Amino acid sequence: MKSIYHLLILCLCASLLSACQISYLVKSGYNQMKLLSQRVPIEEALKDPQISETDKNKLRLAQEARKFAEKDLHLKPTKNYSSFVQLDRPYVTYVVSAAPRWELKHYQWSYPFVGKMPYKGYFNENDAREEEKDLQQNENLDTYMRGVSAYSTLGYFNDPLLSSMLRYDDYDLVNTIIHETVHATLYIKHAADFNERLATFLGNKGAEQFYLKKEGPDSKTLLQLRKENDDAKAFSKFISTELAALEKWYKDLPADDRSEDKRMERIRQIQEKFTTELQPHLQTDNHKKFPELKLNNARLLVYKTYMQDLSDFQTLYELLGSDYSRFIENCKALEKAPDPTAALKQMIVDITKQAQQK
């Protein structure tokens, strides 16, 4: 009944939107309800002979991670991931992102409750491809479409574990559970980039703490996680610098000197720089495909959403004594800030000054 209530509220809000938005929201709402109707309790899924023992172990691990996120990390208790859905497709949704060709700026969509977002999701792959085609042809935008294995409804529904999530490595599954629980705990309207970077940072930290408790300080899993998280920090620093340089290049290049070949060559230079300057120093293969990717502004902005300036979160985390709960509480103070990213930087300055005065 709670899910039906939320869907009715969504449809009521849709009455204030355009016909295209109404159609999209109603269709998405229908597919969300269809997905929820397929849920079975985890306990029941663990008794299903059609589910492999490998997948059942992943279901058990997800329950461990869920309890750890709530009890040890003090994230918001929810009923998320206490049920399971077997999908008939590799991804649960397909997401489209877009950006102008000569500006590193998100094309954004507006939604009830959560505000503006730099992506639009579809349960049907063909619908996503149609959206992408329309943005390319009618608005002359760069686009990027990708399949998504997991997503959060931010507490509006009780999100199930999905069969698409069971393809993750164990530690990636743990990271994802914590990442999505961070969203359910703190989500700032109109600040998608900040929200995703926060969840990325806390997913990484939380997964380390999970395996430290589960397997101890000599855990091979923990060692691998720390290597991956170190690489994530290095890549974050690299891509943040390169995106800032590319943004300046766009602004400084005269309009009469612009060409698609020149633009693509400038983007390729980022990949070449990665290969020569960063890749030799990475400890894992997590970013090895970066030089081969077909990049454009829309795809580069995904890195901005998830990876840019993670160092600010690290700095605040260390200033707060590497205390996960204290870090979350301080971030909650940013909910009403017009620009939470700028407010985070100011918080770092203020806490640093207070520490120096003691």
Determine, yes or no, domain membership for 120. no
pLDDT at 176 over 60: yes
Determine, yes or no, domain membership for 319. yes
Give the C-alpha separation, 185 to 179, whole Å: 10
Give the C-alpha separation, 61 to 37, whole Å: 24
For the whole model, what pTM was predicted? 0.88
Determine, yes or no, domain membership for 278. yes
Q: Which domain range does residue 6 map to?
A: 1-37
- Strands of the chain (E only): list them: 40-41, 83-85, 93-99, 109-111, 115-117, 120-122, 142-148, 161-162
Give the C-alpha separation, 174 to 210, whole Å: 8
The answer for residues whose C-beta is within 8 angstroms of residue 208's C-beta and 6 or more apart is 222, 225, 226, 229
pLDDT at 8 over 70: no
Token representation of residue 290: 């970066």
pLDDT at 4 over 60: no
Cα–Cα distance list, 246 to 53, 94, 231, 235, 238 (Å): 48, 28, 22, 16, 12
Determine, yes or no, domain membership for 79. no
pLDDT of residue 19: 54
Determine, yes or no, domain membership for 168. no
Q: Is 173 within 8 Å of 166 (Cβ atoms)? A: yes
Strands of the 142-148 sheet, one edge to the other: 120-122, 93-99, 142-148
The predicted-structure confidence for 203-227, as pLDDT tens digits, reads as follows 999 999 999 999 999 999 999 999 9
Q: Is 144 within 8 Å of 155 (Cβ atoms)? A: no
Determine, yes or no, domain membership for 94. no
Determine, yes or no, domain membership for 256. yes
Per the structure, the count of domains in the chain is 2
pLDDT at 253 over 50: yes
Determine, yes or no, domain membership for 4. yes
Which of 201, 186, 198 has the alpha carbon at shortest distance from 335? 186
pLDDT of residue 12: 43
